[in-house]
Structure 1
Amino acid sequence: MKWLAAILSGLLLALPAAAADYAALPGGSFPSVLPADGKAAPAQIAPFALRTEPVTNGEFLAFTLKHPEWRRDRIAGVFADGDYLSHWASADSLGGSISAAQPVTRVSWFAAEAFCESEHARLPTWYEWEYAAAADSHRADARQDPAWRERVLRWYGRPSNVPLPDVGGSPDVHGVRDLNGLVWEWVDDFNALLVGSDSRDQDGADKFKFCGAGAISMREKENYATLMRVAILSSLKAPNTTTNLGFRCARSK
């Protein structure tokens, strides 16, 4: 019966993938933890659309089958480190211990960006991601609520070696799920989060390049969970992969 299962699996993978859901977000003026001018100016975010859920193992497997250059046994070393998709059973199979509905992890920035391009999308910017992640089920910005901050921060204390749950948490006010409490997520400009856009803004000390010094200029310092995201993302390189780093895509309006 193994041959029959293989045929059925192949037929399922050959079926057109269901279109991903994207939610429209209005954008606007947003007080980011990283001021737009390095001092106090809010970020100005244009309206955009965001994938309602992180990309899953099943979706990324279908992508690699259609674009085999992104398989783990074919990807160029410059685009991913040695742990890229290493938790899958093989280059073209998830295996029995991996759920197709779990968020895909151990993917590089390059691979995440390529997937988004295949959906005629892109990775969200940090400001877009932070703006979306500030919401809860009934508020667009819940960051001043101590209970919200505690709930988000609680996830950061959980062990990272336990199996990830499937995507599909409760939607926020925008209809977006799992921005907090499931995985870290790549953003397009991850490598510029703690670097000033103009070296003259850095007082000759590269103060934005290092977490400790950069934090001096951050706002919302009580929002420790978001500051941790900034620190982690800014420490990465584009080929890096980790066990709890996934992604979702965005589209400009």
Structure 2
Amino acid sequence: MNSICKFLFLNLFLLIFCNECFCRCMVFIPNGNYVPLFRNSNLDYLEHEVDSFYLDKYQVTNFDYLIFVLNNPFWDTLTKKDILVDDSYLNYWSNIDNFVIYADKPVVNVSWFSSDAFCNFYDSRLPSVDEWEYVGSVGAKTINGKSEPGYFNLLSLYINSSLNDISTVFDMPCNFFGACGIHFFLWEWVHDFNSVILINTDAEGGGLEELLYCGATSTNAIDPADYIAFLRFAFRNTLDANYTMIKLGFRCAKDK
């Protein structure tokens, strides 16, 4: 049984026994400002204004992605194009004996291209860096996440976890905006993931210092303690659009 037929069978099973998996809903994110990781060379604090938008409450699950693949066979593992995804694309699916266990866990090993195609299929898009970081800056109970005890303990979730540690999306904690699992084990694709390039620069870098952070330009970080955000930017800097990774998933956004 090839992969697409196998998942068709699993799909029929899930349709009957896994109604909860259909819960793809969005939360409204109100417009607002946040202080990004980077500031300009004059060390001014520059808030970024983010317009209101909608964001998936949960990360896209394996079940969600399965439905997408069934409707778009181009993205099946047997027909995928190497230029759009690398060899690790959905490779763990073939090792899943009980798909139901993974159905409502976040899908991983998906590329920017495949994630973008998924969102477009559902008349949505990947969130921008600003949108994601804005949502990621809030806490569980307040709009200022850094003011909450334990916010910086989130660092361990990015580093000390494996695929087996990932819970179902419905068990992940939600933040002040109602978005769940924002800081829970996984990195997430954003539309403009490569919009900030991190390289070493010197004092003659000029305007580059407004965007770059590394080595000599480290003073351009807004908050020296904001190591979590720096890790996200550094991680995005390592990606190409066809990369897939075991701890990299996504969620979709939509304009208001």
TM class, shorter-length:
0.7 to 0.9
In 1, the alpha carbon distance for the partners of 2:239 and 2:79 equals: 23
Greater fraction helix:
2
Secondary structure, in 3 states, of the residue corresponding to 1:50? strand
Gaps of 5+ in 1: 1-5
Matched with 1:42 is 47
Q: Which moved more, 1:236-245 or 1:164-173?
A: 164-173
In 2, the alpha carbon distance for the partners of 1:24 and 1:36 equals: 31
Secondary structure, in 3 states, of the residue corresponding to 1:191? coil
| Residue 250 of structure 1, CA deviation | 0.5
Matched with 1:186 is 189
Counterpart of 1:233 in structure 2: which amino acid?
R
Counterpart of 2:12 in structure 1: which amino acid?
G
Matched with 1:130 is 133
In 2, the alpha carbon distance for the partners of 1:106 and 1:29 equals: 32
Matched with 1:140 is 143
Matched with 1:54 is 59
In 1, the alpha carbon distance for the partners of 2:129 and 2:194 equals: 10
Q: 1:216 to 1:21 in 2, by over 3 A?
A: same
Matched with 1:22 is 26
Secondary structure, in 3 states, of the residue corresponding to 1:77? coil
CA distances 1:13-40 after superposition (whole Å, capped 9, x unpaired): 5999946211111122211113489953
Matched with 2:169 is 167
Contact 1:81 1:239 in 2 (8 A): yes
| Residue 73 of structure 1, CA deviation | 1.4
| Residue 107 of structure 1, CA deviation | 0.3
Counterpart of 1:100 in structure 2: which amino acid?
A
Counterpart of 1:21 in structure 2: which amino acid?
C
Counterpart of 1:183 in structure 2: which amino acid?
L
1:63 to 57, 68, 89: 68
Counterpart of 2:32 in structure 1: which amino acid?
G
Residue 251 (1) aligns with residue 254 (2): yes
**Aligned residue-pair number:** 240
Counterpart of 1:154 in structure 2: which amino acid?
S
Matched with 2:4 is none
In 2, the alpha carbon distance for the partners of 1:85 and 1:112 equals: 12
Contact 1:32 1:42 in 2 (8 A): yes
Superposition CA RMSD, Å:
3.1
Contact 1:35 1:219 in 2 (8 A): yes
Contact 1:63 1:115 in 2 (8 A): yes
In 2, the alpha carbon distance for the partners of 1:126 and 1:223 equals: 16
- TM-score, length basis structure 2: 0.82
CA distances 1:216-252 after superposition (whole Å, capped 9, x unpaired): 4221220111110110011100000111000000111
In 2, the alpha carbon distance for the partners of 1:73 and 1:157 equals: 32
Matched with 2:37 is 33
Q: 1:131 to 1:251 in 2, by over 3 A?
A: same
Matched with 2:3 is none
Residue 107 (1) aligns with residue 110 (2): yes
- TM-score, length basis structure 1: 0.83
Q: 1:9 to 1:120 in 2, by over 3 A?
A: closer
Contact 1:34 1:217 in 2 (8 A): yes
Q: Which moved more, 1:33-42 or 1:67-76?
A: 33-42
Paired residues for 1:80-99 under 5 Å: 80-89=85-94, 95-96=97-98, 99=102
In 2, the alpha carbon distance for the partners of 1:38 and 1:61 equals: 49
In 2, the alpha carbon distance for the partners of 1:36 and 1:45 equals: 19
Gaps of 5+ in 2: 1-7
